[in-house]
Amino acid sequence: MAAGKLVNNRIAWRGDSGLLDGIEMNLDLSKGMYDAGDLMKFGFPLAFPAKMLSWAIPGSLLAPNFEDGVKEMGDPELDHQCWERPEAIRGIRPLTQANTSSPGTEVAAETAAMASASLVFKKIDSSYSNLLHEHAQQLFSFADAYRGSYSVSIPQVQNYYNSTGYEDELFWDDKHARTQQVLLSRANLFGAKGMSSEENLDLQMYRKTSEAIMCELLPNSPTATTSRTNGGLVWVSKWNCLQHAMTSAFLVVLFSDYMVTAQISTLYCHGQLYSPADLRDFGISQADYILRNNPMKMSFLVRHGRD
């Protein structure tokens, strides 16, 4: 749930919380999201939705101040075990940060994807657009110059949100076109001007990988993954299982948009052809499953539907 001073609060039994977070460093860190029902504000899991929202719904992020590093609030051991109302928090909580002496490349580079949000506001609100772009540059420069895993710098988070490496996060904003496969395929689909033949060959490789991922996700494809529930939900792990389904939905809808914009009518999957509409239908099916179109006829989103 959201932390800090609640504005236009429509839930009568919720109130302000964490208003003293960051006060020991003269910072207002009261805002943010609490983790999984407890009172921690972890940096890494918060950076992921920030990145996803920045790519999927540009402009949904606020630009924080990262001049002193990337921060998270609370004691991972104590606050993770404390299942009480956030409104009941009393006193000053410990502040942990990734900085030049204790790097946190994953967290900084993840959030640096807010650069995409700056494009939406370029004509609408140029000042805000410039602020987003400025902070994105600061974050990526920090992440790239001071490389180190945040879960090494902050070992107490290893039992909760451990990192396996920071290379993939750095790729999000790498100007030399080495980002993740689906997003990289965009450059190849639309045509990458000013790139060498070698770089374009690399992009073709990413496009092929992206197409293979799409073919695995489409349920009727010859190469479709069997990692699904009986009702058709993509299944990777029992922990936070819906995030994998929604990430898959995001990727297929994004790729279908790329196909439409690039005027590519079909995706070839081992003898079968699929249209952008087929990809979009699969993405919608994952959202519909979560919202009630599942064998249990139950919504998994709080306050959505009659359940």
**Which tens digit of pLDDT belongs to each residue from 143-170?**
889 999 988 988 888 888 888 888 767 7
- pLDDT grade for 192, boundaries at 50, 70 and 90: low
In the chain, where the domains are located: 1-175, 179-307
Q: What is the pLDDT of residue 78?
A: 84
Q: What is the pLDDT of residue 79?
A: 83
238-247 average pLDDT score = 87
Q: What are phi and psi of 98, to 5 degrees?
A: -95, 125
- pLDDT grade for 82, boundaries at 50, 70 and 90: confident
- pLDDT grade for 71, boundaries at 50, 70 and 90: low
> How many CB atoms sit inside 10 A of residue 48's CB?
18
* DSSP 8-state secondary structure symbol assigned to residue 41: B
| 200 or 69, greater pLDDT | 200
- Give ∠ CA 97-100-103 in degrees, rounded to 5: 60
* Percentages of the chain per state (helix, strand, coil), in multiples of 5: 45, 5, 45
- CA 207 – CA 211 distance, rounded (Å): 6
- Among 40, 39, 42, 46, residue whose Cα is nearest residue 86: 39
Q: What is the pLDDT of residue 233?
A: 96
- CA 141 – CA 111 distance, rounded (Å): 12
- CA 2 – CA 210 distance, rounded (Å): 35
DSSP run (H or E) holding 269: strand 267-269
CB 238 within 8 A of CB 275: no
* DSSP 8-state secondary structure symbol assigned to residue 73: E
Percent of the chain with pLDDT over 70: 78
Q: What is the pLDDT of residue 178?
A: 29
β-strand pairing of 267-269 with 70-73: unpaired
- CA 166 – CA 106 distance, rounded (Å): 5
The tokens describing 205, both together, are 């490789």
Residue 73 pairs in a beta bridge with 41, 95
- CA 170 – CA 141 distance, rounded (Å): 10
- Among 236, 227, 214, 228, residue whose Cα is nearest residue 283: 214
Q: What is the pLDDT of residue 52?
A: 66
The tokens describing 7, both together, are 């504005």
CATH code for residues 1-175:
1.50.10.10
Q: What is the pLDDT of residue 27?
A: 86
Model confidence pLDDT, tens digit, residues 197-241: 776 676 677 788 889 999 999 999 999 999 999 999 999 888 888
Q: What is the pLDDT of residue 211?
A: 92
* DSSP 8-state secondary structure symbol assigned to residue 24: G
- CA 59 – CA 66 distance, rounded (Å): 18
| 90, pLDDT greater than 50 | yes
